[in-house]
Amino acid sequence: MSKIQQLDQFTIDNIAAGEVIERPASVIKELVENSIDASSSAITVEIKDGGLSMIRVTDNGTGIGRDDVKIAFLRHATSKIKTVEDLVSVSSLGFRGEALSSISAVSQVELITKTAYDFTGTSYKIAGGKEEELKEIGAPDGTTIIARNLFFNTPARRKFLKSPGTEASHVEQVMVHMALSHPEIAFKFIHNSKNRLYTSGNGNCKDMIYHIYGRDIARALIPVEFQTETMAMSGFIGKPFISRGNRNYESYFINGRYIKSKMISRALEDAYKTFTMKHKYPFVCLNFEIASDLLDVNVHPTKMEIRFQNETKLYDMIYHTVRDGLLGKDLIPEVTVEHKKEEEKPVIPKVTLEPFQQVNHTVEPAKQTDIEHISAKDKKVYRNEPLKKPSVFAGVNYKKNQEQEKSVQMTLNETMVFEEEAKPDRKIIGQLFQTFWLIEYEDNFFIMDQHAAHEKVNYEKLIRAWEKKEIYSQKVEPPYVVTLSVAEARKLERYKDAFAGLGFSIESFGGNEYCIREVPANLYGLEEKEVFIEVLDSMDDTSITDNLDIITNKLASMACKMSVKGNQTMSILEIKALLDELMELENPYTCPHGRPTMIRMTKTEIEKKFKRIV
């Protein structure tokens, strides 16, 4: 057994720093919280190379007195608390007294500060925990802290940091949370000399949301609030149609501090159930004021987690307040109708598809007869080619469920309802509820879901077009403008080829806004912007070009948007064309999401229901 020995001060400082400082965003969080606690009304954060080479935080707060400058960099030195009893009633954002000590232990720090009572300011330099210089300097009231070369003396930790772009996105997220939780403060965030965020500090939370997330989200907000003797909640929740594919837009703050809480997230998401689809998460921006004696904020070094004394009561209040807010509002999204000239409508190109070779299996080309196809968008008759089979992408057969594809489910005497031989005897009886089509064939009665069937046909078309790089684009005038975060912009840049392959043409519009100038032609006028957001939300560190699930899921989403919907009248001609197209598919029985396109009852089963036979 090794001999026990006391660690040296350098090692102790680095261990302590590791508990607080994980990345540049950690440094900025600690410094900005100190600036807020110093009663600042304006805070500017500037970084270079994602904060790896330089971080500068400037505020107009109360500053640090000359005699306190050195003390401020000692471990457990703070002006926020004095005794252990103060921990149960702490109201400031920072209170551990380890921020400056930890930052200076792993970077080269320069502090410039001045109080309103001093004639001159103070400059203090410290690197790797070692003091280098202390002198007087001319400076305005407030504090500026510059941290250079983060983890310069611990290269093993520095190599685990992500790329500058990724680190910048983490910093931006911190700044967004700071701006939302303190709308009374004017924040400015600069990355590599470019302004990424600027807020006015007018105290209006809705203005902050508009400035950060854009007009579409700001117009879809529902104000909510509740108050008791010990707690209060106020802020905004988003209407369900702006829900996203991740939790990045769930922002809630306890006494001005951004936190993460499984209980609060569960209460919010439970309140949105039945309003949103599965795996969709709401937009919320909520501020909680809770009596300090009901909280334990001393749970985690980063103060990101808080323990509540009465979680059940808080859950109930959040759930019912949010649920009541949703139930009391008109949740139908507002639609802006753009009037386009007749000649501007997209022309769907007629494409001749060659037979595709499946691995270890040769497929004969299908018959090249034209099919009357009614566009779900324009209700005009276009001439379109039938699809070939099988559905193959990159050598992978796209069978969603082998059991669902057994032909025995749709046959009688070995003759399939979708086979060419069945066509003369197949009778279309009519439409039910403007959604389902009733079809009679031999001794079988079929009910077809028009949306699911059309969705499957369109999905197979998109798969073929993607395979052959024949997805066409359509220009939009004026172009759509979307507001993206740093993280979203990085994903867009990384997967720009994939977006182009899907038919989108997107370019920077300055700042954090981007223009969508071209969209997939088949989606023209059919929620193209929503599909773009869905695709972007679904992406993470896995390359979209290598992940078949992401590609097929997004093609399925596009197929859904361009398909005829339920409660929509279709003609007999349209249904005949749809059935003919289904005949060309390898698996016409389920839509891309796995729902059946058709269900069946036999004549015998119907006769049993009417007691004609026992």
Phi, psi at residue 61, to the nearest 5°?
-80, -160
Q: How far apart are CA 365 and CA 376, in angstroms?
A: 27
Q: How far apart are CA 139 and CA 141, in angstroms?
A: 7
Strands 186-191 and 121-127: unpaired
Q: For position 595, what pLDDT does the model report?
A: 73
Q: For position 275, what pLDDT does the model report?
A: 74
Q: Quick one: CA dihedral 206, 208, 209, 215, positive or negative?
A: positive
Q: For position 480, what pLDDT does the model report?
A: 85
Q: Give 329: exposed, middle or buried? Use CB within 10 Å, 0-12, 13-18, 19+.
A: middle
- Domains contained in the chain, CATH given: 9-202 (3.30.565.10), 206-327 (3.30.230.10)
For the chain, which residues score pLDDT lower than 50? 81-90, 94-96, 300, 332, 334-399, 401-415, 542-548
Distances in Å between the Cα of 148 and the Cα atoms of 34, 44, 100, 411, 412 are 19, 17, 14, 73, 77
Secondary structure (3-state) at 246: coil
Q: For position 178, what pLDDT does the model report?
A: 95
The full DSSP string for 32-69 is HHHHHHTT-SEEEEEEEGGGTSEEEEEE-S----GGGH
Q: For position 408, what pLDDT does the model report?
A: 35
Q: For position 18, what pLDDT does the model report?
A: 52
Is 0.75 surpassed by the pTM of this model?
no
Quote the tokens at residue 62: 């109360």
Q: For position 146, what pLDDT does the model report?
A: 97
Q: How far is CA 142 from the centre of its chain?
A: 37
- The 10 Å CB-count burial string (b at 16+, else e) for 38-48 is bebebbbbbbb
Q: For position 392, what pLDDT does the model report?
A: 29
Sequence-ordered list of residues with C-beta below 8 angstroms from that of 229, at least 6 positions apart, any chain:
none
SS (H, E, C) 335-390: CCCCCCCHHHCCCCCCCCCCCCCECCECCCCCCCCCEEEECCCCCCEEEECCCCCC
pLDDT, tens digit, 9 for 90 and up, residues 81-94: 444 444 444 455 54
Sequence-ordered list of residues with C-beta below 8 angstroms from that of 547, at least 6 positions apart, any chain:
none
pLDDT-above-70 percentage for the chain: 69
Amino acid letter, 404: Q
